[in-house]
Amino acid sequence: METEQGPPSQDEIPPGTIIGERYKVVKQLGQGGMGVVFQVEHAVTKRRLAIKAMRRTRDDSFRQRFLTEARAACAVQHPAIVPIHDVIESDGRVLMIMDFLEGHDLYDLVQQRPNQRIHIQEAAAHLLPIVSALGALHSANLVHRD
Catalytic, out of 59, 60, 108, 146: 146
Kindly report the number of other CB atoms within 10 A of residue 85's CB atom: 11
**Rounded to whole angstroms, how far apart are CA atoms 41 and 119?**
37
**Rounded to whole angstroms, how far apart are CA atoms 138 and 62?**
22
59 is catalytic: no
Q: Is 54 helix (H, G, I), strand (E, B) or coil?
A: strand
Nearest to 134 by CA among 124, 142, 126, 125: 142
**Rounded to whole angstroms, how far apart are CA atoms 94 and 11?**
12
Catalytic residues: 146
